[in-house]
Amino acid sequence: MALACIYSRARIGLESPLVTIEIHLSAGLPGFHIVGLAETSVKESKSRVRSAIINCGFEFPARKIIVNLAPADLPKEGGHFDLPIAIGILAASEQIPSQELLNYEFAGELALSGELRAIIGEIPLAIASRNSQRTLVLPESNARQACRVNAASIIALRHLNELFPHFARQQPLPLMQYQPVEQEHFVADIDSNDIKDVIGQPLAKRALELAASGAHNLLFIGPPGTGKTMLASRLPGILPPMTTEESLETAAIHSICAHNLNNNYWLKRPFRAPHHTASAAALVGGGSQPVPGEISLAHNGVLFLDELPEYNRRVLDVLREPMESGEVTISRALHKMTYPAKFQLVAAMNPSPTGFYTDKRSTPEQVLRYLNKLSGPFLDRIDIQLEVCRLPKGLWNNNPNNNESSKTISQRVHNCRQIQLNRQGKANAYLTSPELKQHCYLTDEDCEFLELAVEKLGLSTRAHHKLLKIARTIADLKQQKDIAKEHLIEALSYRAMDRLIRHLTESVIG
């Protein structure tokens, strides 16, 4: 047989469309041609495939070889086409049995010796092959990650030589077993980042617990050295573990960026902290062939922005739409990619250019100009805005060291989140307007109180909804079925930025 067909897959964002690799051997001047909109990395596979076949003891056909990657209008890139091309040549030249090849999909980069090297994007490949009910053959290092996909049929391959005895049924390669990560094996990584190390700041710790319980966005405002960054770094230690579905979504994004997740931290929510010099493309994703940015790498986790006003205002404003929709669409002339971006934003900032509230070097006009680096619509999407004050005199030496640990707080957070999942199937921060009416019922008196407070503070309808969500989380933490006035009062106390800007504006006008 001088013709063989092999299945593999391309990489288009998080999707893995099927690619049929057709290999035809014909008489004529020996040559090796790859057609089908192949990028440079695919065309360079000719040298790798030829050397690997020869070094594995097979015969490289001295014939005209045509490799067609179908469909022809789908771009193909990456070295993972090496393995299926090599197998197709061996099948077309009748050096390996070809009866069962169409039941498999292949992906892997070949070394010149025939060994398999790791590729990127193994999780989307495994999901796609599972849906097509075929067995996926991958390099061994990728197969360990791919076997996390439930019901996927995965074979780990170390060397091209292992395929002949497998298809000849002399020494079949075993299927890798599905390896779920149970939540009891979840590693919170709180040994080096325990919240009990933070001295004082009970209000900030309370806000951190609320943010973790309801997946609310959080902003810390305060002078330098008050523990804003330290508090934010403790958030991963109190967050509940991801579900299996969430961990698979997150792992798929990291796999196409060549970030393999450690098995011990498979359920741990990602924590991304880009520098304030990051560009808009670095945050939301971009490139000629769009790749995920920081907000997608923080999917189902936390995006921490320290020194918030030091970011370019345009860079921050590109976060507004993903914060609402939970996804980002990147459009280019030839490509359009949509990546998930359901992240929890945590930010920290100083109240003025000099870092302090009262300083002779900063006038109210300069402070207001500094705060105006953050647009109103962006701030409107941050649920909790809290002032972090300096520690009282003597607290450092006289601290009784009886602070709650991250483990204690995380248990309350887990219980609170479970209440929300049982009631509405999602965290409070993601409630829609109809769901707010259903799950955030207020008495007429409390409703009137909240409306008067919103009007006095000059808050938007979005801020009104966020106050309801925070009050719902406060009630859940206290395991109370209905929202009470005390919950609304506490929720209103987390609007420090609105009060600060209002005060400064009145000072400037006055």
Question: DSSP secondary structure string, 2-41?
Answer: -EEEEEEE--BTTB--EEEEEEEEESSS-EEEEESSB-HH
Residue 229 has what pLDDT?
A: 92
What is the rounded CA–CA span in Å between residue 65 and residue 29? 10
Structural Rg of the chain based on CA atoms = 28
Return d(Cα 9, Cα 289) in angstroms, integer.
17
pLDDT score, position 148: 87
Which pLDDT does position 162 carry in this prediction? 93
Q: Contact at 8 Å (CB) between 190 and 406?
A: yes
Please give the chain's pLDDT, 510 residues, in tens.
589 999 999 999 899 999 999 999 998 899 999 999 999 999 999 999 999 999 999 999 999 999 999 999 999 999 999 999 999 999 999 999 888 899 999 999 999 999 999 999 999 999 999 999 999 999 998 998 898 898 899 999 999 999 999 998 888 899 988 877 655 445 555 456 888 888 888 899 999 999 999 999 999 998 898 889 999 999 999 999 998 889 999 999 999 987 766 666 678 899 999 999 999 999 999 887 888 999 999 999 999 999 999 999 999 999 999 999 999 999 887 778 899 999 999 999 998 888 887 666 777 788 888 888 899 899 999 999 999 988 777 666 666 566 788 999 999 999 999 999 999 999 999 999 999 999 999 999 999 999 999 998 888 999 999 999 999 999 999 999 999 999 999 999 998 777 777 666 666 665
**Angle subtended by helix axes 461-477 and 406-424, to nearest 10:** 110
Distance CA(315)–CA(280), nearest Å, equals 5
Question: Per residue in 376-400, is it b (16+ CB within 10 Å) or e — as a string?
Answer: eebbbbbbbbbbbeeeeeeeeeeee
Side chain identity at 94, as an amino acid letter? Answer: E
Structure tokens at 195: 């919240």
Residue 459: φ, ψ to 5°: -85, 160
Which pLDDT belongs to residue 26?
A: 92
Quote the pLDDT of residue 355: 82
pLDDT of residue 174: 92
Which residues sit opposite 331 in a β-bridge? 336
Parallel/antiparallel/unpaired status of strands 327-331 and 153-157: unpaired
Question: What's the CA dihedral at 5, 171, 56, 136 to 10 degrees?
Answer: 40
